[in-house]
Each structure stands twice: as C-alpha cells, then as structure tokens.
Structure 1
Amino acid sequence: MHTDQLLAFITILIAVVPWAMSIHAKVALIASAMEGLPELVRETRAKLDQHETAIKALQKAAVARH
C-alpha cells in the first residue's frame, strides 16, 4: 500500500469503527429492552386492572350514596 492509500484506509477505519460500535451498542440496547417487554406488558396490564377495579368501586360507592 502506498502512504496515501494507507492514510485513507486509516482515516476510514477511524470514521467507521466508532460508528459501527455505536450501532452495535444501540442494537444490543434495543434487544435488551425487547427481552423485558413482555414483563413490562404484564405489569402494566396488572396495574390497569387494579385501577379499573378501584374506579368501579368508587363508581359503585357514588351510586350507593345517591
């Protein structure tokens, strides 16, 4: 390789490697989040059920007062 080609190659590596590592890190983060998603959905659904039960109890109490 000529010096100019080597310099161009090193410049490209310096530009591409951090970008590629950044993409890899983002993909890993998304994959990790996706693994926890089913549990988050279950927790959210349980919390929603609790809120709906509380609302129904409040509505029932309000109707009983009138």
Structure 2
Amino acid sequence: MSAWSEERRQRHAEAIRRWKPWEKSTGPRTTEGKRRVAQNAYKHGGRSASVIALEKLMSALARNEREARLLV
C-alpha cells in the first residue's frame, strides 16, 4: 500500500475541485438501483427490531412520566 505524499494529495484535491464530480452525479437510474438505495437507512441496524422496541419503550416511559406529573 503506497502512501500519498502531501504534494500528491494536494494535487489530487485540486483536480477534484476542478472536475466537480458531484455536479454530474445523478443517483440511481434503474428500478433495481432505486430499490437498493431505498434500503440505505436500514444498513446499520438503525431500524432494527430491537431499536424500534426501545423507541416504543422510551415513548411509553415518557407518556407515563407526563401522566404522573399531572397527578402531583
């Protein structure tokens, strides 16, 4: 694995700023590509069953706390 020198890194950064590849990005075009990127939010478990269950539990706890405060 070759490490880039600081000079090479700077030249590459300048070239990327000139090319601006992000301006040409179109995102997925095919139905399959769109289907795949639609699942990106699920990739790292942020919408897993355990996280959803925890969110429901925290919501119920907050609701119970609000109700308890009304009794005081």
Question: Is TM > 0.5 for Structure 1 vs Structure 2?
Answer: no
Which structure carries more relative contact order (alpha carbon 8 Å, separation 6+)? 2
TM-score, normalising length from structure 1?
0.44
TM-score, normalising length from structure 2?
0.41
